[in-house]
Amino acid sequence: MAAVAGARWKRWVFLYLPLGAFVVVTLFPFYYMAVTSIRPDQEMYIPWNRPNFAPFWTLRPTLEHFALLFRETLFVRWLLNTLMISTLSTAIALFCGLLAAYALARLRFPMGGTLGSGIFVTYLVPQTLLFIPLGEVIRNFHLGDTPWALILTYPTFLIPFCTWLLMGYFRTIPRELEECAQIDGATRVQAMVRIIFPVAMPGILSAGIFAFTHAWNEFIYALVFLSSAQNKTIPVGVVSELVRGDTFFWGPLMAGALLGSVPVAFIYSFFVEQYVSAMTGAVKG
């Protein structure tokens, strides 16, 4: 009996309490974001060492920050921009990645291994290495300050990932499946499109979810390639329009941050398993 009590005590100290603390620290900024977004200004700007500083909740919740966000900024426009850019770039990346992954996983051709490694290496090229020359390239193609600047460049960091993940997925599908189809008279391409792609749907979904969240979160390309307010994405719009010099409009900023986070968090909550498998799959290669 004493041994069991001892074990339980140990589980609390070494497992539940530290894990609980970790989760609280992990989630607290989001909670604080939410509270700040509904806190009236006169309550918000009280120095922290005053006795009436009540940080964890507010007794007079207000929607004035959201109202300001929708009335005085182009937030809805930014939301639609982000949605469109993320969706289209994910679609392009999935299309390119799906075809490339099939070729690399299933077909025998000279230089196949080298090309595979090449695509993997571009996966590791960070956006910050290229943003200045890429900005020039974008201007030369006359894409500057248009959504296409992002729709066409985001796939560069999404394709390698999608290819890599789908290659792994294709390898788990037995070859016999398409061989059977080919014996039944289907061409190689028909077997690929009708048999293999549908079987790979879970992998495609994982890659798509992961790619979409990445595109949604991208910042530096959007910051550098877009200039007019109505073309911006949420992260760039919120930062550039609600911070004036040294003045931060914290209420609307937090409201914008919250609303900009909700769509990805929402999608993610439906596809947690796919997301995690994509993430761990991407790492395992």
Partner 1 sequence: MPQPAESAPATVLSKPTPIRTAAFGLGRLRRASRTERREWLLALILLTPALVMLGLFVAYPFVRGIWLGLLDSVVGREGQFVGLQNYAKLWNDSIFRRTAQNTFIYTGCATFLKLTLGMLVALMLNNLVGFKRILRASMLLPWIVPTVLSTLAWKWMLDPTFSIVNWILYQVGFIRLRVDWLGGPVMAMGSVILVNVWRGTPFFAITLLAGLQTISPDVYEAASIDGANAWQRFWKVTWPLLMPVTMVVVLFSVIQTFADFQLVYILTGGGPANSTHLFATYAYQIGVATGKLGEGAAASLAMFPVLFMVVLFQLWYIRRGEGGKGGA
279 scored as a contact of partner 1 (CB under 8 A): yes
Q: Which two tokens stand for residue 164?
A: 């890599």
CA separation for the pair 272, 124 (Å, rounded) = 24
For partner 1, the binding residues in 36-95 under the rule CB under 8 A are 36, 44-49, 53, 55, 92, 95
195 scored as a contact of partner 1 (CB under 8 A): no
We find the least distance from the C-beta atom of residue 192 to partner 1, in angstroms, to be: 9
User: Please, are residues 204 and 281 in contact by the beta-carbon 8 Å criterion?
Assistant: no
We find the least distance from the C-beta atom of residue 146 to partner 1, in angstroms, to be: 15
24 scored as a contact of partner 1 (CB under 8 A): no
How many other β-carbons are positioned within 10 Å of the β-carbon of residue 77? 15
If residue 244 lies in a helix (H) or strand (E), which one and from where to where? strand 243-244
219 scored as a contact of partner 1 (CB under 8 A): yes
CA separation for the pair 247, 253 (Å, rounded) = 11
We find the least distance from the C-beta atom of residue 104 to partner 1, in angstroms, to be: 8
Chosen residue from 51, 52, 132, 244 binding partner 1 by CB under 8 A: 132
> Terminus-to-terminus CA distance in the chain, angstroms?
48
For partner 1, the binding residues in 149-188 under the rule CB under 8 A are 152-153, 155-156, 159-160, 163, 188
Chosen residue from 69, 74, 88, 104 binding partner 1 by CB under 8 A: 104
Residues paired with residue 90 on neighbouring β-strands, in sequence order: none
Size of the site for partner 1 (CB under 8 A): 99
97 scored as a contact of partner 1 (CB under 8 A): yes
What sign results for the dihedral spanned by CA atoms 180, 184, 185, 189?
A: negative
